[in-house]
Amino acid sequence: MLLLLLLPTQALAHNEVVELRHIRIIELRDIGIEASALSPDGDDVLLVGLEGWAHLLDAVDPNVEVELNSNDEDDLHDVDWHPRGNTALIVGDAGTMLRYTREDHSITHVSGSAGALYGQDLSAVSWDGPGNWAYLGGPGGLLMRYRENGTTGEGEFHVLEGSRSSDITAIDCHAVMHSHCAVSTRSDGLALIDVNHTVHWLPTSGATDWADVICPSAGIDRCVAVGRDQSVGIVLLDVNAAGNSQFHSKRVETEGQFTGVQVRDEGSLLLTTAPLGYVDWLLEDGSDQLGQAYPWIDNDHVGDEGVLLMLRNQRIIGGWSDASETGYGITSYGTVFRYAPPSDSLSGKLGSAIAPLLVIVAVPGVVLGLIYMSSPKLQKWYMGRRKAKHQAKVDASKAAEKERAGRKKRG
């Protein structure tokens, strides 16, 4: 059965809720930054990239920095902080696995990694919720787990059974004790790793080239993946049994393709696109509460002068927020920019700022397309209007019933 329902809304001339402002360029060259990670306390951002490049930025003022020496020339592809925030793991090509220590800003090779990972390229790393094990991913479906032996200080490495053959693109763990980690791949779909290190593949998720996955909040039992075909995958976690978790998919009609996902606030994500842009994703919005997409800023409205013009042709590799509607992004080139609502933001002009964004919801046997509004503020306003109309109907019904009762008494 195929059902396509389009709900008409008033169009907005520009699909932009925020505007971008250039902050700085880290170096006067194309650095080739591959990944960023915000420290658990929100104070520092660790960056890694090609040819062993590593750097630390202050999350409050990105102009404050620490140049790091990785003591390695291999390309570095991913980084993740330990939940306690004192160290971070960095992975890259040719079995490179490094540890950053926050106290002295040193970077050292992880003990035992040279032998256990020899010749293996690594593309993803993530600590589990309590910080007991780190999961590693790479090309050809490589999935491993690592921890440091508390007695010997040597690294323990184990290959996970149940992996498949597609390249691992990302791993992220739900920040809850005894919960699961999500894995995204190029062609084998999405998987969950449970507390016993068992890999559970999610049925019907294999038709998409998944670019990234995130489990954004300990308070919400779900992970969200983005695909290069404009798909958004929603994984509803069963925290007790990973195999019972549910997968749903939506396709968002927007410019470009999704390349990554980052946290905007407790209930929202920003989906990054190429060409450079953002789509806002509210985690529990929509009639199905699976999530809802809103415009944030598209490539046409990034800017057409100076550095902003160059920014339009760059690739977002990560970012972080400092409030619900403000934050920072960083590109592979090394450009740091800030996003914030424009001073004349239409989001405050309630009735005139409704914009279309088509979302196709995929559930078994049904495809449902919905056109949504552009701003969380507008959504709140719109829902308020709906509630007010509903209450008015209820009040009118009660009044009519009261009048009928009065007539009966008089009769």
Per-residue pLDDT of the chain (411 residues; tens, 9 = 90+): 233 333 322 223 346 899 999 999 999 999 999 999 999 999 999 999 999 999 999 999 999 999 999 999 999 999 999 999 999 999 999 999 999 999 999 999 999 999 999 999 999 999 999 999 999 999 999 999 999 998 888 999 999 999 999 999 999 999 998 889 999 999 999 999 999 999 999 999 999 999 999 999 999 999 999 999 999 999 999 999 999 999 999 999 988 899 999 999 999 999 999 999 999 999 999 999 999 999 999 999 998 888 899 999 999 999 999 999 999 999 999 999 999 999 865 544 323 343 435 666 654 433 333 333 344 444 444 445 444 544 554 565 555 555 555 544 444
CATH superfamily name and code, 19-377: YVTN repeat-like/Quinoprotein amine dehydrogenase (2.130.10.10)
Judge contact between 294 and 375, C-beta under 8 A.
yes
Q: List C-alpha distances in Å: 148 to 123, 133, 292.
A: 20, 9, 41
Which pLDDT belongs to residue 264?
98
- Tell me the one-letter amino acid at 53: W
Which pLDDT belongs to residue 406?
54
Q: Is 105 helix (H, G, I), strand (E, B) or coil?
A: coil
Residue 113 backbone dihedrals phi, psi, to 5 degrees: -70, -35
- Spatial separation of the C-alpha atoms in residues 190 and 300, rounded to whole Å: 32
Q: Is 139 helix (H, G, I), strand (E, B) or coil?
A: helix
Q: List C-alpha distances in Å: 7 to 15, 232, 361, 368, 371.
A: 18, 20, 14, 11, 6
Domain boundary assignment for the chain: 19-377
Count Cβ neighbours within 10 Å for each residue of 316-341 and write b for 16 or more, e otherwise. bbbbbbeeebebbbbbbbbbbbbbbb
Which pLDDT belongs to residue 10?
26
Strand order in the sheet with 155-159: 124-127, 134-137, 143-148, 155-159
Which pLDDT belongs to residue 404?
52
Give 113's contacts (C-beta < 8 A, 6+ positions apart): 95, 96, 97, 155, 157
Which pLDDT belongs to residue 355?
47
Rounded-to-10 torsion of CA 124, 251, 298, 269: -50
Which pLDDT belongs to residue 288?
95
- Spatial separation of the C-alpha atoms in residues 215 and 183, rounded to whole Å: 10
Residue 377 backbone dihedrals phi, psi, to 5 degrees: -65, -40
Give 383's contacts (C-beta < 8 A, 6+ positions apart): none
- Spatial separation of the C-alpha atoms in residues 55 and 53, rounded to whole Å: 7
- Spatial separation of the C-alpha atoms in residues 346 and 192, rounded to whole Å: 41
